[in-house]
Amino acid sequence: MAKDLTSQILEGMKHPDLIRNIGVAAHIDHGKTTFSDNLLAGAGMISQDLAGKQRALDFDEEEAQRGITIYSANVSMMHRVQEKDYLINLIDTPGHVDFGGEVTRAMRAVDGVIVLACAVEGTMPQTETVLRQALKERVKPILFINKVDRLIKELQLTPQQMQERFVKIIQNVNKLIRTYAPEEYKEKWQVSVQDGSVCFGSAYQNWALSIGMMKAKNLGFKDVYSYYEKDDPIGLRKAMPLHEAVLDTVVTHLPSPRNSQVYRIPKLWQGDKESPAGKSLMESNSDGPLVFVVTKVIIDPQAGEIAYGRVFSGTLKKGMEVNLVNANTKSRTQQIVLAKGGSRLVVDSVPAGNIAGIVGMKAAQAGETITTDSSIEGFEAISHLFEPVVSKAIEAKNPKDLPKLIDVLRNLEKEDPTLKVTINQETGENIIAGLGELHLEIKEHLITRDKGIDIVTSDPIVVYRESVSKLSPKLMGKSPNKHNHLFVSVEPMDDKLFEAINSGDIPEG
C-alpha cells in the first residue's frame, strides 16, 4: 500500500458518512476472488498485472494452493464519487459451503453485500445461503452478474437472449430477498437494473456496466458486443472499468455505517436505546463509549490473539481498559491494527464505523462484545445456519506431542467457533467436528504443516439427520383398548415458523 494511500485511508476512517463496509458473497467458482482482485487493482491497491494472479485476499498458502478462499481477510480502498473520497472496506467471505460459519461472522461487520452470480449458472444453493445469512444480519444486497463474456463468446447468445437470462437471474435473487429479508425491507431492498443496483460484467476481463455508467458514458450492450466482435478486450476494459461501475454502485446503493446502524442496532443489540451507549450505537458516534464486536479471532505466531471486528461506537485506542461482556472479564488493548490482506498495519486509534483488530484480547471469541461501558449487555449471539456434522478422531503419532496437540486444537476452536473439539484427557482420544470434510482437512493441514505435529486421523463420520420433505399420508394408531383412534401426519415446517422458533420468538396460533 503506497504511503499516501495509507494516510488517505486513515483520514477516511474519520468520516462515517463516507465509509462503506462491504462483503462479496457468491457460490464457489462464480468468480469472487477474480472480482475482488480486480476491484483492488482498479483502486490502486495491487498492480493491474497481478490482479487475478496475486489473490490479495487469499493470503493463506493453503488457500492459494487449492484456489479457494477460506479465511475472511479484509482490505481497504479509496474511491472518488462527485468530488468526495469514500473509504471502502472489503471483507472477504468464503464461498464454499463448508465455511458457512466464516460467512455468517463476516456479515456482522459489514452493512452491504455484493451478491455475485455467474451469468451461465445463475443463482445456486450457496448464493441462497450467503444471501440468507446477509439478510439475517440486516445487510443490504446489490447484484453483480458475472461471466457475461461467456454468454457472448461461448454461448453466442443474442442481446435478446442475454437479456432474458439476466431477467431470470434478477427475478430469482429478488425472490430470495423477498423470502429472507426482514419484513420492512422485502420490497425496499429489491434489486433492479433501472435503479442501478444491478451491474453486469466480466471479472476475468475486468469490465462492468451499470445503468449509471451507461447514462454517464453513453454506453450500452451494443458497445460490449462490438468490442467482442473487434476482439478488443483491452478497449472494453478501458471503456467500462469494473471497479468504476462497481464502486460507484456500492457508494450509491449501499449504506454508510451511520445510516445502517439505525436499523441494524435494534436487531443486533437488545440493550436500552436511550442509554448513552444505546444512543451512541444508533448514531455510530465516535465520541461515545467504545462498543466493538469481534467477528474473527486469528492467533498470530508473534502477536498472539488478534480479535478482528467492527467498532460500532466510540473510538478504539491502544492501552484502553475494556470489558469482555460474554467472557465476563477485563482486559487491556495492547495494540490496534488494520488488516492489510495477509499483513497488518499498526495504528493509534480507530473510530466508530470501521473494521480493526485488537491485540491482547486473550479471552475473546467471535461474537464477543468489547466495551468501555461496564453496564451494557452484549450483542446478540452470531447464529450459524450450520452445525458441525462431520467428525474425526485425531491423535498424535508420537505420544509426546499430545500436550502440544491439545493446545493447538484448543486454539483452532477459539479461531473458528464452527469447529467443535472434544478432548478426552484420560483416553487420549480427541474428536474434531466440522461443517464438512474439506473444513476438517484444512485444519489437519494446519496442524501438520504449521505446527509440525504428525497426526493420525480416523475416517470421517457423518451425522445424518432425517428430515420431512413433504406432507405424509395420514397414519392411524389405536389405543390399547382399541376404543380410541389417533390420526397422525407430518409436514415440513415453513421457513418463517422455523426462524421464529430458532430466535425464540414463537408466533401465537
Under the rule (CB under 6 A), what is the footprint of ligand GDP? 26, 28-34, 67-69, 95, 146-147, 149-150, 202-204
Annotate 107-123 with b (16+ C-beta within 10 A) or e (fewer). Answer: bbbbbbbbbbbbbeebb
3-state SS of 416-462 is: CCCCEEEECCCCCCEEEEECCHHHHHHHHHHHHHHCCCCEEECCCEE
CB of 242 to ligand GDP, least distance (A): 9
Burial of 4 per CB tally in 10 Å (0-12, 13-18, 19+): exposed
Residue 145 identity: I
Looking at beta carbons only, is 38 or 371 nearer to ligand GDP?
Answer: 38
User: In sequence order, what DSSP letters do the residues of 7-55 get, joined into one string?
Assistant: HHHHHHTT-GGGEEEEEEEE-TTSSHHHHHHHHHHHTTSS-TTTTTTS-
d(CA 55, CA 33): 7
* Closest to ligand GDP by CB, 29 or 128: 29
Residue nearest to ligand GDP (CB): 31
CB of 24 to ligand GDP, least distance (A): 9
Shortest distance (Å) from residue 32 CB to ligand GDP: 3
- CB under 8 Å to 467, separation ≥6 — which residues? 492
Those residues with Cβ within 8 angstroms of residue 169's Cβ, 6 or more apart along the chain or in another chain:
117, 119, 122, 123, 143, 145
**Shortest reach from residue 33's CB to ligand GDP, in Å:** 3
66 or 279: whose CB is closer to ligand GDP? 66
CA gap 429, 420 in Å, rounded: 14
Of 153 and 420, which CB lies nearer to ligand GDP in the complex structure?
A: 153
Beta bridge partners of 344: 339
Which CB, 15 or 153, lies closer to ligand GDP? 153
For residue 259, count CB atoms less than 10 angstroms from its CB and return exposed for 0-12, middle for 13-18, buried for 19 or more: middle
Nearer to ligand GDP, 20 or 55 (CB): 55
Question: Measured from the CB of residue 69, what is the shortest distance to ligand GDP in angstroms?
Answer: 5
Nearer to ligand GDP, 105 or 147 (CB): 147
* Residue nearer to ligand GDP on the CB measure, 95 or 314: 95
Length of the chain, in residues: 509
CB of 28 to ligand GDP, least distance (A): 5
Q: How far is the CB of 145 from ligand GDP (least distance, A)?
A: 10
Q: Least distance to ligand GDP from the beta carbon of 409, Å? A: 28
